[in-house]
Amino acid sequence: MTARPPLPPPHLRDPGDAWVEGPDGTRYWGRYGAAGLLVWQPDHGVLLQHRVEWSHFGGTWGIPGGARKMGESAVEGALREAAEEATVPPEVLSILHTAVFDLGFWSYTTVVARAEAHFDPVMADLESNELRWVAVHEVDALPLHPGFEASWPALREFLH
């Protein structure tokens, strides 16, 4: 099991990097909400991230994403997180759709984008065990992050 890297001192962290607790005690990452990027390239499938064990729902597959920064739009946050975690080049992307899961006190936005050119993702931080292009029809065979698993049937409808 990989040890969790230490967080930067509180004065160096972005204020958005914090847990939000719901009325039932369930915790969600991102004081200003969170966003992720579902990248689809027709010839290669969708880009998925195998989450490290120490992360929330570690060991599952999902999309690059994370906490939004103060004042950052969901699209900006998703693009930034995907670049930070997987070196996704925003200049090759066309945004197709945004889907919002809103709990009132916290929200997660999935940004669906088509890669107009192929690129090889690179693990650029410690949050991934692996990055992989996965054929759309093979996604369901993986152990998926629960939130991504719940949203996948609706999201894949935008991949055309």
Confidence band for 1, pLDDT divided at 50, 70 and 90? very low
pLDDT for the residue 2: 45
Beta strand 93-102 pairing with 107-115: antiparallel
pLDDT, tens digit, 9 for 90 and up, residues 108-151: 999 999 999 999 999 988 888 999 999 999 999 999 999 999 99
Q: Is the pLDDT of residue 5 over 80?
A: no
| Residue carrying the six token digits 């935008």 | 158
Q: Which residue has the tokens 């120490």?
A: 54
What tens digit of pLDDT does each residue of 9-58 get? Answer: 554 568 899 999 999 999 999 999 999 999 999 999 999 999 988 888 88
pLDDT value at residue 4: 53
Q: Provide the CATH topology of domain 14-158.
A: Nucleoside Triphosphate Pyrophosphohydrolase (3.90.79)
* Residue range 48-98, pLDDT digits in tens: 999 988 888 889 999 999 999 999 999 999 999 999 999 999 999 999 999
For 147, what's the count of Cα atoms within 13 Å in the CB-facing half-sphere?
23
- DSSP one-letter string for 5-27: PPPPPGGGS-TT-SEEE-TTS-E
Which one-letter amino acid corresponds to residue 52?
V
In the chain, where are the structural domains located?
Answer: 14-158
